[in-house]
Amino acid sequence: EDGIRDFCLSRGLGDVYKRQILETGMAASFKETVINAHHYVDISQVKCDNTQREKYYRHISKGAWPFSTVDHGWPISDCTAEGLRSSMMAQDLCDFLPRMISDERFFQAVNVMLSLQNSNGGWPSYELNRSTEYLELLNPADCFDGIMVDYSHTECSSACIKALCYFRKKYPSHRKSEIDSAISKGISFLKSIQRSDGSWHGCWGVCYTYALWFAVGAFVETGDTDSPTVKKACQFLLQKQKSDGSWGEDFKSCSEKRWVENKNGHGVHTSWAVLSLMATDSVNYKEAVDRGIKWLVSNQLRNGDWQQQSIVGVFSYNCAISYSGYKNIFPIWALGKYINGYKHASLDLLSK
């Protein structure tokens, strides 16, 4: 429905679906779905390190979650963070859920995340930053930018901060000083890369609305909902909201590394924006949130679906990735959060 695509990889989204259902407060209504998603996350965790890890300069992987299935095997920082956080949330909040993942496996995931933090305080995707960006001069790819070195990313860093914060509340004595230090350094990294207009550049989604959703969430998780950093980020979103209440970015934002307006409002971008503003719980953004929610409601199709719009996934600035499930995942997430987790909600907006 969104044109010709070249299939090259599959991303396991069990953690995304599970967090969506948990944070909307609807887990009890979809028990089988939650159990199945939790089972998928359970079997996707990497159970051992590569047997020839040192020989092939492989990073540790025991306890990590990979990009797709367990056979993929490579440890990914944000996938590990989301797998850890969604699993802990599920087992904490759902009394009907079998306890599939042990404390020890949570500890192993934390070990991987701590080991992947770069010296600048941020987190890369696959491996530590092992060299300088001068290696990009040898980049042989025609379409990929920034692939010779694994850099620290807004999304990976934010996901790890949020997961470690949640873990710290549940296991306050486990590697406390290391986790406290990692979170502090991670927050300092996010502050250091915030752009002058208040935004962050996204590396794995389109683009500024995506990265900002991650970064604001990280600050909120540490208890920071009203700092100049968060306020500046929210002001950026307010400035980009369209007259009809929506937000919309063009894919060119990724490659041109600046905000490029999409002429149409976009359901996924609007969802990321309102989720960011709702996370602060500030009444100052209520009007913008209400307008965004109203737009999402008015653009839902009669069958309950949302329209597939322009691409929202990206890899290495130039490679577009279709995450077709996002069109429904994030509007549902935003609406559910508005109903069940936003104290300033005006529920009459949800009736067409």
43-44-49 Cα angle (round to 5): 105
Which segments of the chain are extended strands (E)? Answer: 313-315, 319-321
Encode burial over 112-147: b for 16+ CB neighbours within 10 A, e otherwise.
Answer: bbbebbbebbbbbbebbeeeeeeeeeeeeeeeebeb
State how far the Cα of 229 lies from the Cα of 193, in Å rounded to an integer. Answer: 11
d(CA 294, CA 326) in angstroms, rounded, equals: 19
* Torsion angle in degrees (nearest 10) through CA of 87, 92, 96, 97: 20
Residue 242 — φ and ψ, nearest 5°?
A: -75, 165
Which residue in 2, 15, 42, 78 is the catalytic one? Answer: 78
Residue 184 and residue 165 in contact, taking contact as beta carbons nearer than 8 Å: no
For residues 158 and 33, give the distance between their C-alpha atoms in angstroms, rounded to a whole number.
27
Q: Which of 139, 107, 112 is nearest to 128 (CA)?
A: 112
* Residue 78: active-site member: yes
Q: Are 64 and 163 in contact (CB under 8 A)?
A: no
Q: Helix, strand, or coil here: 319?
A: strand
Do residues 291 and 242 make contact, with C-beta atoms less than 8 angstroms apart? no
Characterize the bridge pairing of strands 319-321 and 313-315: antiparallel
Q: What is the DSSP annotation of 232-282?
A: HHHHHHHHH--TTS---B-THHHHHTS--B-SS--HHHHHHHHHHHHHTT-
Q: Tell me the catalytic residues.
A: 78
